[in-house]
Amino acid sequence: MLSALDLARRVESGELTPARLVELCADAIAEREAEIGAFVTLDLDGARRTAAPPAGKDAPKVAAKDLPLRGLPVGLKDIVDSADLPTEYGSPIYAGHRPRADASIAALVRRAGGNVIGKTVTAEFAHTDPGKTRNPVKPSHTPGGSSSGSAAAVAAGFVPVAIGSQTGGSTVRPASYCGIAGYKPSFGLLPTVGMKCVSWHLDTVGLFAAGIADVAFAAAAIAGRDLRVDRSPPASPRIAVLRAQPWPQASADMQAALDMAARAASGAMARVKDIQLPPVVAAAFRAHTTIHGYEAARSFAFEYDRHRDKLGKSMRELIETGMKVTVDAYDDARRTASRARQALAEMMSDCDVILTPSAPGAAPEGLRSTGNSTFNRLWTLMGIPCINVPGLADDSGLPLGMQVIGRFGADRATLEAALFIESALARRK
């Protein structure tokens, strides 16, 4: 895998150039993209032009190598509008669609000195009908979804940074399945403007990179916020371990991995205790389904009314289920979510993060399902930062991700705690 932080430092020191970074990616892509299928659209020539812009009066005032992202190649999930490349949302309805403008996150990536090299595969409309992508760790298994291509592109070493999104579990789950860092920031920290909307109360931009320090570095550069965690050792966090979920339990392997992560953190001098969720927070898990469906039925009103026959099975189900949700049920679900956010904030007043599995288990075999988002939905609805910490695996080598969940707006502390746990797991080996 390509470490964003390491590559950026080498550009900063003059050891590498943005143009050389593109070739590093191009080599990795040439070797494995045919097998993995992470991209819908690749634009290596465009990336080469961006990396080595013409001299003279057309040259940009600030070279990419002097900007925070140092010219790092970036993959954009294909629900992010881009003016230079087609954007198809994983749907035949939008075959060949070329938006007039970049989404805000695409423009912010470029503004920070990122070099967009292509659009990555998304499940249809960021839901669950899968694309072609395979898991780089074991290609007979799903990479997870819906940000399938972004997670796989980072795991396969095609790009050091990729942008995804999360409405249910579309960032944390594929990061867990692919064994990389995935970060869903606090709701609203990064703009979703110009990303295909599923649910306006849930959609969140997500980021992928090799490790926690890498994803924090990329997020800091793109958001223009103090989120880096690589400059000093992380403080010892207070960790609340959540073992019993109000939804179907994790696999035995995953439960064992959680025990191992809790022990490693405790061994590294973190304060670790077990917690249980208050009933209103558990109720909010069901509220996610109500809000998701109700809003998707409205977000996709055009597609449903005009192109119903081109919608996949699970998108139709999502929309049709959402059309049956009454406004009273929707309003109730929003009130439940609001109460749950308060209860959770109170519960977390004496801890820094919650530690719990990122997914029910390792990536399922086959490409027909992208796996299950039960371990992620509640936290997405709560709007709080969630990070997948890589480092553990089952006996067959498939990754088992640990989910670190912080307080709203405390993204830096959450990233720091995630780094602490990642380091503790690394030392264990």
**How many residues in the shown chain lie near a second copy by CB under 8 A?**
36
Stretch that binds a second copy, among 116-124, 281-289, 292-300, 314-322 (CB under 8 A): 292-300
For a second copy, the closer of residues 101 and 426 by Cβ is: 101
Task: Check: CB of residue 108 under 8 Å from CB of residue 222.
Answer: yes
Task: Check: CB of residue 362 under 8 Å from CB of residue 227.
Answer: no
Chain position carrying tokens 């899968």: 130
Does residue 110 belong to the site contacting a second copy (CB under 8 A)?
A: yes
Shortest CB 298 distance to a second copy, Å: 5
By CB under 8 A, name the one of 24, 44, 107, 256 that touches a second copy. 107
- 98-109: b (≥16 Cβ within 10 Å) or e: ebeebbbbbbbb
For a second copy, the closer of residues 104 and 133 by Cβ is: 104
Stretch that binds a second copy, among 27-35, 100-108, 169-177, 311-319 (CB under 8 A): 100-108
Does residue 224 belong to the site contacting a second copy (CB under 8 A)?
A: yes
The C-alpha R_g of the chain, in whole angstroms, comes to 20
Catalytic residue of the set 77, 119, 184, 196: 77
Task: Check: CB of residue 192 under 8 Å from CB of residue 199.
Answer: no
- The 3-state DSSP class for residue 89 equals coil
For a second copy, the closer of residues 115 and 403 by Cβ is: 115
Quote the CA–CA distance of 48 and 284 in Å, as a whole number: 47
Beta bridge partners of 239: 272, 353
- Binding string to a second copy for residues 369 to 408, with x set by CB under 8 A, is what? ----------------------------------------
Pairing mode, if any, of strands 73-77 and 161-166? parallel
Shortest CB 20 distance to a second copy, Å: 25
Alpha carbon of residue 301 to chain centroid: 26
By CB under 8 A, name the one of 49, 394, 409, 410 that touches a second copy. 409
Quote the CA–CA distance of 255 and 249 in Å, as a whole number: 9
Phi, psi of 233 (to 5 degrees): -65, 145
By CB under 8 A, name the one of 15, 66, 331, 346 that touches a second copy. 331
What is 272-339 written as a DSSP string?
EEEE---HHHHHHHHHHHHHHHHHHHHHTHHHHHHHGGGS-HHHHHHHHHHHHS-HHHHHHHHHHHHH
Stretch that binds a second copy, among 24-32, 39-47, 101-109, 310-318 (CB under 8 A): 101-109
Does residue 201 belong to the site contacting a second copy (CB under 8 A)?
A: yes
Does residue 61 belong to the site contacting a second copy (CB under 8 A)?
A: no
77 catalytic residue (yes or no): yes
Instruction: Cite the DSSP H helix spans in 188-278.
Output: 212-223, 252-267
For a second copy, the closer of residues 295 and 422 by Cβ is: 295
By CB under 8 A, name the one of 50, 104, 133, 204 that touches a second copy. 104
- Binding string to a second copy for residues 9 to 48, with x set by CB under 8 A, is what? ----------------------------------------
Assigned token pair, 383:
């709007």
Q: Cα dihedral sign for 48, 152, 39, 300?
A: negative
Does residue 252 belong to the site contacting a second copy (CB under 8 A)?
A: no
For a second copy, the closer of residues 146 and 245 by Cβ is: 146
Name the packing angle between helices 18-36 and 4-12 (round to 10°): 160
By CB under 8 A, name the one of 57, 61, 100, 231 that touches a second copy. 100
Does residue 324 belong to the site contacting a second copy (CB under 8 A)?
A: no
- The 3-state DSSP class for residue 51 equals helix
Task: Check: CB of residue 115 under 8 Å from CB of residue 21.
Answer: yes
By CB under 8 A, name the one of 299, 336, 370, 414 that touches a second copy. 299
Catalytic residue of the set 150, 170, 176, 423: 170
146 catalytic residue (yes or no): yes
Catalytic residues: 77, 146, 170
- What does the binding site for a second copy look like in residue numbers (CB under 8 A)? 83, 94, 97, 100-104, 106-108, 110-111, 188, 191-194, 197, 200-201, 223-226, 295, 298-299, 301-303, 305-306, 327, 331, 409
